[in-house]
Structure 1
C-alpha cells in the first residue's frame, strides 16, 4: 500500500501580523492626534482667555443691563471705568476660573471635533481625497461647534452669573452658584441658554475656521515658492503644507476671531440675558425662552440692543484668536 504524503502548508507568520500592525498603528495615530488636539487646544484656549477676559466681563455687563430701566453703562469705556472704581482691575477677572475650564473645553473640543468631522467626510463622501472642498470644511466646523455647545453652556452659565452679581448681595463663588442652579432648576437648569450657545457656536465655528482657512489660503497663494493647496483643514497628512510664518498665522487667527464674534453676536446677547436672570424669579412656566427674550429686546432697544457690547468684543477677539491659532499651530508642528 502506497504511503500517503500529507502536504502541510505553514502560514507565513509575517503576513497577518503586518496587517494587524498596520491597523494598530492607524488606531494609535488617531489616538495620538486626538490627544494632541485636546492638549494643544486646551493650552491655546487658556492663553487666549487670559488675554480677553477683562473685555469679556465688560461685554457681559453691557449685555445684561435690565429692560425698562435707564442704562447703567453708557458704553464700554464707561463700563470699564465703573468696574475699575468698584472692584479694581482684579474685579475684571472675577469669575475667571469657570471660563478657564470652559476655554480649555471649548478649544480642545473644537479642534478635536473639527478633525473628526473631516475624517468622517474623507471616509464617506470624499474617499481618497486629501484636501476637502471648502464647503465640506465649513460643515465640519459647524458640526464641531454644535457638539461643543453642549459642553460649554453650563460653564458659560456660571461664568455669566459671576460676572454680573446681584447688587447688594455678596457675590457667591462658583460652587455656591452651582448649588443654587441645581436647587432651583435641577440638572436641566445648567443648560439654560443652550439655544443661544448652539446658534453662536454652530454658526460662529463655521465662520471661525472658515475665515482662518480663507486667509491662510490667501497667504499661501501669495507665496511664489510654495504653490500649495488652498485649504488643509488643520489636518495632519502627507500632503499638508508647511506652517505659515507666525505673523501670518496671527493675522488669519485675528480675522477668524472678528468673524466669529460679529456675525452671531445677537445670539450671544440673548444668551447672556437669559443666563444672568435672577434664579429665584424664573421658576417653572415663567421662564422666558430664547425667542421671547430676543423679541422683547428687539421691541425695546432694536438692533442696537442686540449688538450692545459688540465693539469691545470684536476688539478683544482679534488678539485672543490670533494667539489661539498661533499657539495651536506652533505646538502641533513642534510635536509633529
Structure 2
C-alpha cells in the first residue's frame, strides 16, 4: 500500500515520528502546508494548471482528474524517453495518487509538482515508493520486497543476507528500521554494493577478472540508462586499456565512478576546453584542471583514461573537443546524420540535404539581414544628418552649420520633423542588400574558417571575414550613400536659395553609373577596416565579457545590444577619416568651395586647409550613429536568426545547459534517478502489472 496523501507531509522532517493530520484536513490544507515548506511562485502554479487542464480528460462527479496515462503525459519530458520508458514514469503516479483512487486530482497534482521542487526529490520519491505501508519507516521486508518486485528474475542476484545490508537493517529478522535520513545513505551506497556483488558473482574463478560481455551486463543493469547507445556498444572495448583481454575489478569501479560523477566530469570538461587555446584538451589537461578545481583529486589517472578512451573511440593520445565527449555525457546522443537508410542512400540524401540547406540558409540570412539593417537604419537616421562631415571652408569662410546642435536646430526650423528623414527612402531601399550581403558574407567566411568541433576561429580569419564582408557591401553602399548625402545637402541648400529640391531619381540620372561609384576607393578604405574591427570585437565581447556559451549561457537582449553597441564605437571612430574623404568626394561642390580630384588630393587638401582635426570631423556623431545602428541591427539579426537555423557549431546539451523552463520539464525524470540506480528497468514490471 502506498502512503495516503496527508501522511506524506509529516515525513518532510526526516526521521520524525509520523504525526497524522487532524481530522478533516483535506488536500487544500495539504497544498498550503507544502507551499510553506517549498516556496512556489505564482507563475509556476499557473503553468501547472495549464498542464493539468491540457491532460486531465477523466471526469468524476463533475471534477477533472488525471488517470495514469494522462499523468505520464503531463509530467514526462516529450521526446526525451530514449533511456527511460514511459512505464517507469508511472512509478511517480503511484506516489502522486496518495489516496489510492486510481486518479490524480488538481490538488494532488499541485502537491506532487511542489514536492518535485525539493532539492532531495529523487531520494524523497524513492523513500515514498519503498515505504509501502506509509509508516514513515522502511523495514527489511519492505526493502527486499520492493527491490525484488522491480528488478526482475533475470537480473544479477543480490544477496540480502550480506553483511552490508545487516549493517543498515540489522539481522534478517531484526527490528531495526530505517528513517528517511538513514534510507538516503543506504540508497547512496546500494549501487556500489550491487557492483561488488555482481562482479564477485560473475568472477567464476575468483581471479579478479571478468569477461567483456559480463562487464557489459553489469553496467547495463546498474547504469545503462545513463549511457548513450554508442558507449553501450563499445563497453567491451574497455579491455584494450590493459593487456590480457579481460576486465579487472579496478576498471569496473573506475568506470562506475566516472558514470556516477558525470556532472562533475562535464563541468571539468567544459571549463578546461573553454580555457584551452584551441578548444581541445588531452588527458593531462583534464587532470590538471580537475586537481586545480578542488581541494582533493577528483579523478584518478585510470578514470581519466576511461573518459578519453570512450570519447576518442579507443584512440589514445588525442586532443579532444567538447563535442567529442558528447556521446559520453548525454545518454540521448546520436551520431550526426544517423538514419535507418542504407549507406549509399544516406550519403546521397545527406549531400542533397546539405546543398539545399546551404542555399536556404544563405537566402534566409540575406533576407533577415535586410530586415535587421532597415530596422537599425530607421532608428538612427536623424543622427546621420548631424555628422557635419560635409562642412567645407568657403571662399568667404562661411559655414552652413556651426556644430551638430546648430544643424539639428536649423533643419527642424527650415524643414520640420520630416527633414530629419529626408533621403530615408533610398536609404532603406539600399540598406537591405547592403546589410544583407555584409552579414551574410561575414557569416559565410566565419563558417568556412571555423573549427566545426570546437566552434573556434583564429583572429586572423575573424579579421579576414569582417574585411571581406565590408568590401563586398561597397557594391551597394557607395550608390546608396552618394544619393543619400546629396538629398540631405540639397534640402538645406534649396531652402536657403529658394530652389526646389530634386528627387533621388534625378540625382541617379545626373550621376550615371560611373558617378554612383564616385568615392568608392574611400568607401572601401572605410568599410573594410570598419567591418574587420567590428565583427571580431562583437564576437569577443559576447564571449569574453558576457560569457556567452559558458555553461550554456544565452545572452539577454540588453547584453547583446550592449556588446553590439560597444563594438561599433572603435570601428566607427577609427574609420572617420576615410568617411570624411568619401563624403567630400561624393558631394557636388558649389561655387567657392574646394574641389577634390581624388582620394590623395582630398586627404592632402583637407589636412592643409582645415588641419588634422578635420579628418575626424563628425567622429563623435558618427559613433553616436553607428554604435546604436549596428547595435539594433545585430540584435534584430540575432533574434531573427535564431529560427529556424543556428550558425553555432553542434552543442553539447545536457542538464547543465538547461534553462529554467527545461529544468522544470525534467524534474520528474530527475526524481527517478535514485530508483533507476537500483536497476535500469526499475518500475517497468511493477507499473505494467
- Match of residue 489, structure 2, among 161, 164, 167: 164
Between the two proteins, the alignment pairs up a number of residues equal to 297
Whether 2:630 is the aligned partner of 1:321: answer: yes
CA contact (8 A) 1:57 1:92 kept: yes
- Provide, for residues 264-298 of structure 1, a one-character-per-residue CA deviation record: whole Å limited to 9, x for no partner: 011011111111124999xxxx9610111111011
CA contact (8 A) 1:150 1:198 kept: no
Whether 2:393 is the aligned partner of 1:67: answer: yes
Partners in 1 of 2:627 and 2:511 — Cα distance?
Answer: 33
Partner of 2:57: none
- Displacement of 1:129: 6.0
CA contact (8 A) 1:253 1:321 kept: yes
Tell which deviates more after alignment, 312-321 or 103-112. 312-321
CA contact (8 A) 1:219 1:248 kept: no
Partner of 1:51: 379
- Displacement of 1:73: 1.4
Partner of 2:472: 147
- Displacement of 1:253: 0.8
- Provide, for residues 44-94 of structure 1, a one-character-per-residue CA deviation record: whole Å limited to 9, x for no partner: 1111111111110221xx211223332221110011111111111111111
Tell which deviates more after alignment, 110-119 or 154-163. 110-119
Partner of 1:277: 588
- Match of residue 612, structure 2, among 303, 306, 324: 303
- Displacement of 1:208: 1.4
CA contact (8 A) 1:266 1:307 kept: yes
Q: Give the direction of change, closer, same or farther, for the CA distance of 1:243–1:31 in structure 2 (3 Å limit).
A: farther
CA contact (8 A) 2:576 2:622 kept: no
- Displacement of 1:134: 2.5
Whether 2:550 is the aligned partner of 1:227: answer: yes
CA contact (8 A) 1:297 1:305 kept: yes
TM-score by length of 2: 0.41
- Match of residue 257, structure 1, among 546, 568, 582: 568
- Provide, for residues 216-260 of structure 1, a one-character-per-residue CA deviation record: whole Å limited to 9, x for no partner: 012343x7xx536xxxxxxxxxxxx66411111000011122122
Partners in 2 of 1:15 and 1:215 — Cα distance?
Answer: 43
Partners in 1 of 2:449 and 2:638 — Cα distance?
Answer: 22
CA contact (8 A) 1:220 1:227 kept: no
Larger C-alpha radius of gyration, 1 or 2? 2
Tell which deviates more after alignment, 316-325 or 261-270. 316-325
Whether 2:641 is the aligned partner of 1:332: answer: yes
Partner of 2:511: 181
Q: How does 1:197-236 map to 2 (within 5 A)?
A: 197-221=523-547, 227=550
CA contact (8 A) 1:65 1:71 kept: yes
- Match of residue 82, structure 1, among 381, 404, 410: 410
CA contact (8 A) 2:596 2:602 kept: no
CA contact (8 A) 2:538 2:563 kept: yes
Query: Residue 366 of structure 2 aligns to a residue in which SS?
Result: helix
CA contact (8 A) 2:442 2:468 kept: yes
Partners in 2 of 1:280 and 1:17 — Cα distance?
Answer: 72
Partners in 2 of 1:243 and 1:110 — Cα distance?
Answer: 24
Partners in 1 of 2:553 and 2:368 — Cα distance?
Answer: 18
- Match of residue 559, structure 2, among 245, 248, 253: 248
**Which structure: greater helix fraction?**
1
- Provide, for residues 119-158 of structure 1, a one-character-per-residue CA deviation record: whole Å limited to 9, x for no partner: 4435xxx687632123211211111111111221111111
- Provide, for residues 93-123 of structure 1, a one-character-per-residue CA deviation record: whole Å limited to 9, x for no partner: 111111112221221111110122124435x
CA contact (8 A) 1:211 1:259 kept: no
Unaligned runs of 5+ in 2: 1-340, 646-689
Whose RCO is larger (CA < 8 A, sep 6+)?
1
CA contact (8 A) 2:424 2:484 kept: yes
